[in-house]
Every structure is written in C-alpha cells, then in structure tokens.
Structure 1
Amino acid sequence: MSSQDQKPYYFVPSPSQHPILAALGLLGMMLSLTAWLNDQGWGAFAFAVSLAWLLFVLWRWFGDSITESEEGKYGKRIDISYRWSMSWFIFSEVMFFAAFFGALFYARSFASPLLGDLNHRVLWPDFMAAWPNVGPADLVPHFKAMTAWPIPTINTALLLTSGATLTVAHHALRDDHRKPAIIWLAATVLLGVIFLFMQGYEYVHAYRELNLKLSSGMYGSTFFLLTGFHGFHVLMGTLMLSVVLARLIRGHFSAEHHFAFEGAAWYWHFVDVVWLGLYIVVYWL
C-alpha cells in the first residue's frame, strides 16, 4: 500500500480566520485605490498598508497549507483537488489573455480598416488604415512601434530557456536527484528575474526614445496591457518558483509527492506559451 493511500480519506481543515482577513485586505485595497485615483492624500498610504496586510495574511495562509502537507495530512484526493483547482485557474488566465488578444485583433482587423474605407474618407481624408496608426483624427502624438529586435527576441530566448531548465529540474526531482533539481530550478528563477529587468529596460526605451506610451492610441494601450500583464504573471511565476526553491532546499517534496512544484511549473509553462503568442502578434505582425 502506498503512502498516499495510508493518509486520511479527505482532509478537512479546522475553521480559519484567513479568508475574512484576506477579504478585509482586498476591501481596503479597493477603497484606498479609489481614493488614491481621486487625489485623496491618504489613499496611497492606505493602499500600501492594505497591500502589506493582504500579503501577510497570504503568507500565513500558504504557510499553514505547507505545514499541513508536510505533516502528511494531504492524501490522494487532496492532490486531485489541487490539480483540478490549478487547472481551472490557468484556464481562467487563458480567458483573461484571450480578451486582450481579441481586442488587438478587433482593432487591427475590423476597426482600422473600417475607419479607412471610402465611406469615411470625407471625415478623415488623411487617415491611413495601416498598423500601427495615430488614429483617424491624428490626436495621438506620433510614436514609433516596438520592433522584435533586440530586447523582445532576447526575452523570448530567456523564457524558452527557462522552460527547458524547469523541465530538467522537474525530471531531476522525479528521479530523486535533489541537488540537480535545486540547481536547475535556481537557474529558472534567475532567468525569470533577468526577463523582468529586460522588460523594464524595454519600457524605459519605449517611453524615452520611441515616445510610445499607454496613451499612444490603440497600439499603445494594447501593447502595454498585453506585455504589462504578462510581465506581472512572470513576476508571480518567479515568486512561486522561488518559494518552491526554498522548500526544495529545506528538504520538502519527494519523488512521488511534489504537486507544489508541478503546479508552479504548469503556470510557468503557460506564461511561456502566452509570451510566444505576444512575440508573434505584437512584435512581428
């Protein structure tokens, strides 16, 4: 009989204060952000406090889950439940990015050609339905589009390499080779950090040298929303892998029981796939 079968049929945690405390932190963030955006002096400070509170609650919450797992309270059914939960979470993220890809597709394939057809020549005779553009009324300050070389291409190489190093680390863990797993996972985290620094440099270059901003028409808004949200997901994935790395160094996980590693790996590979779509659609087409 396997160790998974010897664990409880289904673990039910005791009543916890974490959900209500996290909800209070989210409520505080929402209210303070509203005040901050409306130029209320206390908004920024209250937002920082609420965010710190939420992060503290999440730290305690995930810490409890890790403790329960290490104490052997999670059996096969809990493992299945976590896998389904992570699968649906990633599916929701797919739909999230699909909305932004759809907005970009609509702007390029429908809105721009419509505004540039013969029926609109009387209103905007100088408008060219090329992508990117400054809009039919020419109200957007002129800018240059971001090219695929060199930064986006380097970032693509970084993410693809990180996917390979993460896969090597996973196979090493499954073979119960802990030290190689730690080394390759650390390399994955390092590549994620380098990607974030490169994207920050790309944004500085866009603002200072290309005059490309979030307000630069439909191109600027879709560019920064797609790449910015992807960068945020890279940040979250890097944090997830960093926690997994710390647990791996502390001796957590085994060759048979390491879903936290697998869940973070699923998320990271999803981030890689999204970037490939971004690289083709945003930078090349």
Structure 2
Amino acid sequence: MTTAHTAHAGEAPYYYVPPDSVHPIRASLCMLATLVGAALWVNSYAIGPWLCLIGILSLFVVLYGWFGDAIRESEGGLNSQRIDHSYRWSMTWFIFSEVMFFSAFFGSLWYTREVTTPWLSTLDTQTLLWPGFSGAWPNQGPAGTIAPFQTVGPFWLPTINTALLLSSGVTLTIAHHALRAAHRSKAIFWLALTVILGFAFVACQAYEYHHAYTELNLRFTSGAYGALFYMLTGFHGFHVILGATMLTVIWLRLVRGHFTAEHHFGFEGAAWYWHFVDVVWLGLYIFVYWL
C-alpha cells in the first residue's frame, strides 16, 4: 500500500513500462477498415458506408479499452514523475502538430487570396481563359462552372460561437483553479458548464452549415472560397467535438474522484487542447468571417 501511494504521488524512482498490448494492432485494423470503407464509399460501392461505420465504431471500442487501461495504471499508483513528464511532452508535441496542421490551411487561404487570385486576374490571356474573371475575393471562379453563392458574414452565428468558445475558456480556467484549490464540487460544476458551452458551439455550427448550404448555396464545390471555408471551419468543428468529448471524460473522472489538487494532468492536458481550439477559432473568426 505504501509503495502504491508513493508512486501515485509521483515520487516512484522507476519508469513504468506497460506490458505487451493488443490495442495498437486493433486500432490499426479499425483505421484500415475505416479508410477502405471511405474509399469504397466515394466510389459508390454499397458496402463502403457500412465498412466505414464499422471501422469507426470499432475504433471507439478499442480506444475505450485502451484509455481505460491507462486510467487504471494511473489510479493504481504505477505512474511516477517521469511518466508525468512524458505525458506533458507528448501533449505538447501533439498540440504542436495540430498548430502545423491548421497553419497549412491558413497558409492555403492566404496564398489563394493574396497571391494566386490577383495573379490570375493580371494575365493577358485571362479574358480568353476565364471571361469575366476578376481578382476580387471571393470570386465565382471560371465563368459558368460554379453556381452563384453568397459568403458567410460574422453576424450573427459566428459571433455567438465566438462568445460561446471564449466563455468556455473562462469557465474551464475557473474549474482548473477550483481543482487546484481542492474545491472538487466547484470544479465539477464549472467543467460541466464548459462541456455544455462546447457542444452548444457544435450545435450552432451545424445550424450555420445548414443555412449556408440551403439558403446561401455555399457548397464545398463553390470554388476556392467554398473549399477553404468548409475545410477550415469543418476541421475546427471536428476538433471542438474531440475536445468536448475529452472534457466530458475528464468530468466523469472528476466526479469519481480520480484527480487531486496536486496530480491532475489528465485535466490539464485536456485544458491545453481546449485553449488551443479557442485560439484557432479566433483566427478563423477574423480571417474567414471578417476579412
């Protein structure tokens, strides 16, 4: 009992190495099934959607067992301070990879808007290649190939979503401070509010997509603007769903008493990710909806 308590306190002198696990190969097979199913789906094979769905659901089952094992290792007192440092560095590099991921899409938006579009409008042959083409952003693309569409402005749904995400960052910070002060009931309340705000954002964005698709005729095929709009906002929405799901799991663990004021990196890692999602949205709000 003493050894387990010491390890749980982050003072164990060893680096815990978990035993052999079947989770990685299972996850790989699930992702393979998902990708094959998606490929068959876009090529109109009837089995494609079903195989893709089976792969996704199977992956969720595998991740549930995998994360469950990691939680049991932590609660069983097997994680030393070295493990804590490993988790922190792993989450840091993961978020860095996400920064580079979104940087690529923001770079595509900038390059298309500020470089290629003006350049194409200055070509001597542009009247022959694209009659009526101008360097304005957004544009309708090559004449006659893209259906007319309207852009999405900042009012009101994007502004409401900005308020929701910024508020969720505040409530998450309050929950974190409450946990560090050993006020578990207060932390549970404010973290629950954070999760509600996160899923409210997702609901508002779903409504925005419906409005853009049905009333503004803005599709993924609406030229460079439509493709970049849905890629940037869609991937961000996917990250919000992941972040809200992570925070939901953390909330359940918090209710079960898994975290203490001194040791709660699971909470901190999810909080880092959520604040990153907030920052990305501020970039989207400015460069996609305002400019």
TM range (shorter): over 0.9
Tell me how far 1:241 sits from its aligned partner. Answer: 0.0
- Note if contact 2:11-2:81 (Cα within 8 Å) is conserved in structure 1: no
1:30 aligns with 2:30: no
1:223 aligns with 2:229: yes
Question: Take 1:149 and 1:30, find their aligned partners in 2: how far apart are those partners?
Answer: 37
Question: Take 1:26 and 1:122, find their aligned partners in 2: how far apart are those partners?
Answer: 47
Q: 2:218 aligns with which of 200, 212, 219?
A: 212
- Partner SS, residue 231 of structure 2: helix
Tell me how far 1:29 sits from its aligned partner. Answer: 1.1
1:190 aligns with 2:196: yes
Tell me how far 1:49 sits from its aligned partner. Answer: 1.3
Change (3 A) 1:2 1:113: same
Partner residue in 2 for 1:7 = 12
- Note if contact 1:135-1:217 (Cα within 8 Å) is conserved in structure 2: yes
CA deviations over 1:11-64 (Å, ceiling 9, x no partner): 010111111111111111111221111111111111111111111011000000
Question: Take 1:2 and 1:16, find their aligned partners in 2: how far apart are those partners?
Answer: 22
- Note if contact 1:8-1:73 (Cα within 8 Å) is conserved in structure 2: no
1:201 aligns with 2:213: no
Partner residue in 1 for 2:121 = 116
Matches for 1:33-182 after TM superposition, within 5 Å: 33-117=38-122, 119-123=124-128, 124-182=130-188
- Partner SS, residue 271 of structure 2: helix
- Partner SS, residue 176 of structure 1: coil
Question: Take 1:69 and 1:5, find their aligned partners in 2: how far apart are those partners?
Answer: 10
CA deviations over 1:78-131 (Å, ceiling 9, x no partner): 000000000000001011111111111011001110111152443235222111
Paired amino acid for 1:156: T
Question: Take 2:123 and 2:67, find their aligned partners in 1: how far apart are those partners?
Answer: 59
Question: Take 2:149 and 2:259, find their aligned partners in 1: how far apart are those partners?
Answer: 50
- Note if contact 1:185-1:245 (Cα within 8 Å) is conserved in structure 2: yes
Identity %: 58
- Partner SS, residue 122 of structure 1: helix
Question: Take 1:263 and 1:78, find their aligned partners in 2: how far apart are those partners?
Answer: 14
Partner residue in 1 for 2:258 = 252
Q: 1:235 aligns with which of 241, 249, 267?
A: 241
Tell me how far 1:5 sits from its aligned partner. Answer: 4.9
Tell me how far 1:7 sits from its aligned partner. Answer: 2.3
- Note if contact 1:10-1:75 (Cα within 8 Å) is conserved in structure 2: yes
1:21 aligns with 2:26: yes
Question: Take 2:238 and 2:64, find their aligned partners in 1: how far apart are those partners?
Answer: 19
TM-score, reference length from structure 1: 0.97
Single out whichever of 66-75 and 111-120 deviates more from structure 2. 111-120
Equivalent residue pairs, number = 285
Question: Take 1:175 and 1:138, find their aligned partners in 2: how far apart are those partners?
Answer: 63
Question: Take 1:122 and 1:27, find their aligned partners in 2: how far apart are those partners?
Answer: 47
Structure 1 runs of 4+ with >3 Å offset: 1-6
Single out whichever of 4-13 and 255-264 deviates more from structure 2. 4-13
Question: Take 1:223 and 1:231, find their aligned partners in 2: how far apart are those partners?
Answer: 12
- Note if contact 2:27-2:63 (Cα within 8 Å) is conserved in structure 1: yes
- Note if contact 2:168-2:193 (Cα within 8 Å) is conserved in structure 1: yes
- Note if contact 2:247-2:270 (Cα within 8 Å) is conserved in structure 1: yes
Change (3 A) 1:234 1:90: same
Question: Take 2:38 and 2:8, find their aligned partners in 1: how far apart are those partners?
Answer: 48
Question: Take 1:229 and 1:5, find their aligned partners in 2: how far apart are those partners?
Answer: 36
Tell me how far 1:190 sits from its aligned partner. Answer: 0.2
- Partner SS, residue 39 of structure 1: coil
CA deviations over 1:160-186 (Å, ceiling 9, x no partner): 000000000000000100001000000
- Partner SS, residue 124 of structure 2: helix
